[in-house]
């Protein structure tokens, strides 16, 4: 899960980016459009947070950015209500009126990402290599064979696959899979991760490797298998 902010002073201790990092999010702040557009995060991010008035962005510029980079992802607009009313409106976008506090910012980000995830989780069948996720949490087929998963395990596995090759924080996992259920703890989450690693064979020799990130969360990576060198061919090439 990657978040980006567009703000004049992203390194300020009270910047939007720093407030989100303090809350456990993987976030980068950019001082201008050019800096963001030149970064790989412009296409990798899951949510963009911007104050259009502060950054002097009009509807035309916002519309271009949304269509070019984030047509399938939401934007979170921060600012005065009067200015926000004049901003490009899309159903998936969210608005947060100033003044912004860490509590209100995090709550708005959670709600926006939660709605996005709800759409992901109810989409049609999704395929990731040998894994086929059925909609509505109805199951996972691995090489055509049904693998029984609990509802939480299904959501967790789908979350990791949809964030393939990205670090996913425990904070985001708790928000998305457990919706901040007070009963969730590190041991419970670890048990669920261990279960899907075993059931779905998420290890290096099986195509996908699920690894813990110390003091942060987890990461699922595709693993490229090296083809065994044919001895006969080698002898032919090098007699």
Q: How confident is the model at residue 199, as a pLDDT?
A: 95
Q: What is the mean pLDDT of the chain?
A: 82
Q: Which of 31, 71, 26, 21 is closest to 51 using CA atoms?
A: 31
Q: Residue 122: what pLDDT?
A: 59
CATH class of residue range 3-119: alpha beta
Q: How confident is the model at residue 165 (pLDDT cuts 50, 70, 90)?
A: confident
Q: Which pLDDT score, from 0 to 100, does residue 230 have?
A: 46
Architecture of domain 124-222: Orthogonal Bundle (1.10)
Is pLDDT at 237 greater than 60 in this prediction? Answer: no
Q: pLDDT value at position 236? A: 45
Condensed to tens digits (0 to 9), the pLDDT of residues 139-160 reads 789 999 999 888 889 889 988 9
Structure tokens at 133: 């996720």
Write out pLDDT tens, residues 7-43.
999 988 899 999 999 988 889 999 998 999 898 888 8
pLDDT at 94: 85
Window from 48-57, 75-84, 195-204 with minimum mean pLDDT = 75-84
Domains of the chain by residue range: 3-119, 124-222
Q: Which of 2-6, 43-47, 112-116, 191-195 has the lowest mean pLDDT?
A: 112-116
Q: How confident is the model at residue 105 (pLDDT cuts 50, 70, 90)?
A: very high
Is pLDDT at 186 greater than 90 in this prediction? no
What's the pTM? 0.63
- 183, pLDDT greater than 90: no
Cα dihedral across residues 22, 24, 30, 33: positive or negative: negative
Can you give the pLDDT at residue 229? Answer: 42
Q: Is the pLDDT of residue 232 over 80?
A: no
């Amino acid at each position: 899960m990657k978040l980006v902010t567009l703000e004049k002073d992203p390194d300020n201790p009270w910047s939007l980016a720093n407030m989100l990092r303090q809350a456990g999010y993987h976030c980068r702040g950019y001082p201008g459009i050019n800096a963001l557009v030149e970064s790989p995060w412009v296409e990798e991010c899951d949510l963009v947070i911007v104050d259009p008035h502060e950054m002097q962005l009009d509807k035309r510029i916002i519309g271009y950015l949304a269509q070019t980079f984030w047509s399938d992802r939401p934007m979170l607009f921060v600012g005065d209500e009067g200015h926000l009313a004049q901003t490009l409106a899309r159903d998936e976008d969210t608005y947060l009126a100033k003044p912004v506090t860490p509590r209100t910012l995090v709550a708005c980000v959670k709600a926006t990402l939660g709605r996005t995830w709800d759409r992901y989780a109810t989409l049609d069948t999704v395929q990731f290599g040998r894994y086929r996720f059925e909609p509505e949490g109805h199951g996972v087929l691995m090489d055509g064979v049904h693998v029984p998963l609990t509802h939480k395990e299904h959501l967790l596995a789908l979350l990791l696959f949809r964030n393939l090759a990205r670090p996913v924080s425990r904070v985001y996992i708790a928000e998305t899979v457990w919706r901040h259920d007070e009963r969730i703890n590190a041991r419970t989450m670890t048990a669920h991760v261990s279960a899907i690693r075993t059931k779905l064979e998420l290890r290096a020799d099986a195509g996908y490797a699920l690894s813990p990130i110390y003091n942060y969360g987890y990461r699922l990576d595709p693993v490229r298998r090296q083809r065994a060198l044919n001895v006969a061919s080698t002898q032919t090439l090098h007699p």
